[in-house]
Amino acid sequence: MDNLNYGIIGNCRSAALISDTGSLDWCCLPEFDSSSVFARILDEENGGRFEILVKYNYEITQAYEKNTSILITRYSDGENVFEIHDFMPRYYKIKGHYNSPPEIVRYFKHISGKPRFSVRYDPRLEYAKGKTNTHIKENFIVSVAQQQKYDTLFCYTSFNKKDVVEGKEIELTADGYFLICYNEKLLKPSTDKLLLELERTKIYWLDWVDRTPTYKKFNDQIIRSALTLKMLTYDKSGAVLAAITTSLPETIGEVRNWDYRFCWIRDASMVIKVVSELGHKNSAKRFLRFIIDLMPDKDEKLQIMYGINKEKKLTEKTLDHLEGYKAQAQFEWVTPLTSKNRTTSMGFSWM
């Protein structure tokens, strides 16, 4: 992990970062501000990852499917080619409601030949604070946080589960999938069902973009920015996150490694103004409701920031067991929002 060249996928409930080689290096489930299940960006070896490994002669390219938040990573050695379509499901369910489960789908699309790959499936639950044990069950792979027995992560796959856990090479001859879930599934997934999830999610994003104005100049850049801002909105409360990450220093070696999974009123208002001017009034309505619910009582001042579930009391936690991004964060106290430890989190799952 040499840089922060990442793609973002999300469903307005949580989000994930995927590197330009297809490694899932950051994700918190079930919500944006939950503890991490993959946190390689905060600790190269111990943070946890879901990495795709191919031989050196494979060329790896990456791009979003046009006008969607579906990230496609393509692996090709000329003869043997496959793609991974990464997304978090989001689509229309019933009037006024969307299906946005705490899940990540990694859909493997066979293009040509017999490409081979292996995976490093290594979740580290609860910010990797304790040991995570991974077990193979009949229908899924389950990872359990040793210190928090109730915190689990489920992985369903069309591939051989033993080969996945042991990191053995897998030959791809047809489409396949990985489905990472915070909750156990009542119905067993299948490749066909997840292809349907992919298509439904694609239609949702295409429809959302279709309701966005087009511009003569920089239209693609505007649309991509708008999609990213949309993924930073939290449907449950109407809050807008500053970012999906925590503990990344503004400058390597400096101390400003804050948690940005919060709603700053000023910054969020500017985001909503832009999104509203792009025609998406529902986001503005939800954010206005978020503000109204936070209206201070008599003699209470409006805070500059709140938790995304309208929390007012924000308690800082430190993750000094992680080395920090590039292991170069300083230990110095600056303001009440910074940490003298390596990695700072204000996630509410610890409160």
Is residue 206 within 8 Å of 67, Cβ to Cβ? yes
Considering only CA atoms, which of 264, 272, 305, 267 is closest in space to residue 288? 272
What does the pLDDT read at residue 148? Answer: 62
Total-model pTM: 0.91
Is residue 70 within 8 Å of 9, Cβ to Cβ? yes
Q: Where are the domains of the chain?
A: 6-211
Q: 302 vs 135, 136, 160, 211, 347, CA distance in Å?
A: 47, 50, 54, 34, 21
Higher pLDDT, 298 or 203: 203
Alpha-carbon distance of 207 to 287, in angstroms, equals 21
Higher pLDDT, 258 or 334: 258
Per CATH, is 6-211 categorized as 2.70.98?
yes
* pLDDT tens-digit readout, 259-306: 999 999 999 999 999 999 999 999 999 999 999 999 877 777 889 999
Band (2; pLDDT cuts 50, 70, 90): low
Q: Is the pLDDT of residue 333 over 80?
A: no
Q: Is the pLDDT of residue 150 over 50?
A: yes
Is residue 297 within 8 Å of 276, Cβ to Cβ? no
Is residue 1 within 8 Å of 75, Cβ to Cβ? no
What does the pLDDT read at residue 149? Answer: 61
Q: Average pLDDT over the chain, rounded to whole?
A: 90
Band (318; pLDDT cuts 50, 70, 90): confident
Alpha-carbon distance of 157 to 172, in angstroms, equals 13
Asked which of 53-67, 225-239, 255-269 is least confident by mean pLDDT, the reply is 255-269
Element (H, E) at 281: helix 281-293
Band (350; pLDDT cuts 50, 70, 90): very low
Burial class of residue 65, CB neighbours in 10 A (0-12, 13-18, 19+): middle
Q: Is the pLDDT of residue 334 over 70?
A: no
Please tell me the total number of residues recorded for the chain in this structure. 351
Is residue 204 within 8 Å of 227, Cβ to Cβ? no
What does the pLDDT read at residue 209? Answer: 97
What does the pLDDT read at residue 328? Answer: 61
* pLDDT tens-digit readout, 69-109: 999 999 999 999 999 999 999 998 877 689 999 999 999 99
Alpha-carbon distance of 198 to 106, in angstroms, equals 10
User: Dihedral of the CA atoms 8, 11, 12, 18 (nearest 10)?
Assistant: -20
Give residue 342's identity as a one-letter amino acid code.
R
Give residue 88's identity as a one-letter amino acid code.
M
